[in-house]
Structures are given as C-alpha cells and as structure tokens.
Amino acid sequence: MAQNVVDTSNLPRINGARVAVLTSKWYDDLVCSLRDRCVEVLNINGVTDVTLHKLPGCLEFPYAANELIRSDPEIDAIVCLGVVLKGDTMHFEMIVDEVVRGLGEVSRQGRVPIINEILPVTDLAQAKSRAADDGLNKGIEAAVAAIEIIAWRRGL
C-alpha cells in the first residue's frame, strides 16, 4: 500500500508555541532524520521554541513527558520520535504497548497533546523508508499533527 505525502502547504502559523521533541538514542541516524524534518516543519510554521531531549530509549518517553509537563505548564505539545525493532522475544510488544499506554495517560492527565511517531518495525528497511529524506518522512507527519492540534486547541 502506497503512502501519501502529507500536505504542509496550508498549515496554520502557530507563533509563540512551545514544543518539546523527545528522541531515543537507539538507531540514532534514523531518529535524527525524523527529528530534523520535524523541527524543520515546526520552524517553518512559526514554532521557534523547540527543545530537544535525547533519552536512553522509548520506554522512558512517558516519564520524561510527564516531567516536562510538570516543569513547564506552558508547553503546547510534545513530539516523541523513535524506532523499536521487533526481535525474537516479546520485548518489542512490551515496549510499544507500555509506551503508547503511558503517553496516552500522561497526555490526558497533563492536558498536553503528545504526538507519538515511534516507529514499531519488523526490519530496519521499514524504518529507513519512514525516516528517508523525502516527503514520506514520519517526522514531517509528527510536526503536522503537533501544529494542527495546537491550532485546534488555541481555537477553543
């Protein structure tokens, strides 16, 4: 199934927004590609207050997001970028399930949107195609989601 390129041409400007980007240290080249495209789209659309946080792994994302919300109640959104590769054990399922559950809980309790663009993949080729330097890079989709939800929330 072919993926569609996300249209970034008509995004709202969200000047003054504060966004934190959490990244995992695993598969650094791929995660940095996601991060760079995400930050680029955020900046183009008015988000100049972007803080970057590199963490030991994706499992630490819910904890870090919770701490960021507690320390900065004015934060507008958090974007989580990482790669989790399926191996021969249940480790993959445990990590992905707990991170998704944890981020949802933190988002609801902290009342801050958390964009989850952690790539759960069964081989590195899948991650490489989703982190390539093209319009299909999932970092772009993460930035678009953050921009749109911040704009939506400001409109309430």
Give a yes or no: residue 97 inside a domain.
yes
Respond yes or no: is residue 91 known to be catalytic.
Answer: yes
Whether residue 32 contacts residue 137, with contact meaning beta carbons closer than 8 Å, is answered with no
Range of the domain at 37: 18-154
Tell me if 8 is assigned to some domain.
Answer: no
CATH number at residue 24: 3.40.50.960
6 occurs within a structural domain: no
- Quote the tokens at residue 48: 């100049």
- pTM for this model (two decimals): 0.95
Tens of pLDDT, residues 24-78 = 999 999 999 999 999 999 999 999 999 999 999 999 999 999 999 999 999 999 9
Q: Which residues contact 13 (CB under 8 A, 6 or more apart)?
A: 45, 46
Give me the sign of the Cα torsion angle 40, 41, 46, 47.
negative
Query: What tokens were used for 99?
Result: 């991170």
Sole residue written with tokens 């994706």: 58
When divided into structural domains, the chain yields a total of 1
- Structural domain includes residue 76: yes
| Catalytic residue of the set 13, 70, 91, 101 | 91
Give domain status of residue 61, yes or no: yes
Q: Look at residue 13 and tell me if it is in a domain.
A: no
What pLDDT digit, counting tens, does each position of 118-153 carry? 999 999 999 999 999 999 999 999 999 999 999 999
Domain membership of residue 7 (yes or no) is no
Is the torsion defined by CA of 66, 25, 80, 21 positive or negative? positive
**Closest to 118 (Cα-Cα) out of 30, 45, 42, 53:** 30
